[in-house]
Amino acid sequence: MKNLFSLEGKVAIITGGSRGIGAMMARGFVENGVKTYITARKKEELDATAKELSQYGECIAIASDISTVEGIEALTQEIMKQEDKIDILVNNAGATWGAPISEFPEAGWDKIMDLNVKSPFFLIQQLLPALKAAGTKEDPARVINIGSVNGLSYSGMNNYSYTASKAAIIHLTKHLAADLVKDNINVNGIAPGFFPSKMTAFVLDGHEEQAAASIPRGRIGSPEDAAGTAIYLSSRASAWMTGNTMVLDGGQIISAHK
């Protein structure tokens, strides 16, 4: 039982791994013996994160643009030159867009839906042989899709395509889990609340205490919260769980209508 949460020797890919929740999860993996590939568009920022995390273990940066199927294929080919199996795929890369409903542009709809929903699906598709090769009946390969509490409840903001995309990825997680369970691949999700990231910077900037006070647990999310949940979903401890999305929000949703 003492090794239930061990990830030693596994191989992981984290999209959007250069900052925010992606970097938090990457550090948790690296420090626990996972060979971790992180990918994002901005090479300089990505390389800096990989260099920082490499002091704790093995972290490899591969710059890519997964907003297109061509970019997804290029990333997959690059990784498969070095690996024959992938134990863990974390679909974390995402974006948001805000505008009043009367002004919301088509570009703000298509960009967000493509990156937040289409890209994870086609990355899973491209990596399916490598995930199948890693999974066993006792310890399946893992896909972790990063949703959001905004995909489960009213956001209070004008981020229409973002909330739609996160609701979609949560349901897609269930669908994929049902289809891939026979291939020894578990598909689960995480729906984070407030964590420090570029996406939440406009809310948290100068209002950290106010934001923390609005959360029942009295603080915003920490790196340990993100890493711990990802480690659980990637370890033997969760081998019998698939098709679920874990809400990681300090009690925000359950307390919203008290």
Residue 256's pLDDT is: 76
pLDDT at 229: 98
- What is the rounded average pLDDT for all residues in the chain? 95
pLDDT at 257 over 80: no
Question: Which stretch of 27-31, 122-126, 205-209 has the lowest confidence by average pLDDT?
Answer: 205-209
What tens digit of pLDDT does each residue of 88-97 get? 999 999 999 9
Domains of the chain: 11-248 (3.40.50.720)
E strand or H helix that includes residue 232: helix 223-234
- Tell me: pLDDT of 208 over 90: no
Cβ within 8 Å of residue 193, ≥6 positions away: 149, 215, 220, 221, 247, 248, 249, 250, 252, 253
**CB-CB contact of 191 with 152 (8 Å):** yes
Q: Active-site residue 162, yes or no?
A: yes
- Give me the residue label for tokens 């995309």: 165
pTM (global) more than 0.75 = yes
205: confidence class by pLDDT, cuts 50, 70, 90: low
Strand partners, 61: 38
- Residue 245 tokens read as 């999305």
**Contact assessment for residue 159 and residue 203, using Cβ atoms and an 8 Å cutoff:** no
Q: Catalytic residue among 37, 160, 162, 232, which? A: 162
Q: Is the dihedral of CA 201, 144, 154, 106 positive or negative?
A: positive
Please, which pLDDT band fits residue 172 given cuts at 50, 70 and 90? very high
Residue 116's pLDDT is 98
Pairing of strands 245-248, 59-63: unpaired
Percent of the chain with pLDDT over 70: 95
Cα distance from N-terminal residue to C-terminal residue, the chain: 38
pLDDT tens per residue across span 108-140:
999 999 999 999 999 999 999 999 999 999 999
Asked if 171 and 159 touch (Cβ cutoff 8 Å), the reply is no
Burial 82-115 (b: 16+ CB within 10 A, else e): ebebbbbbbbbbbbbbeeeeeebeeebbebbbbb
Please state, as a whole number, how many other Cβ atoms lie within 10 Å of the Cβ of residue 206.
6
Distance CA 233, CA 235 (A): 6
The average pLDDT across 234-253 equals 97
By three-state DSSP, how is residue 228 classified?
helix
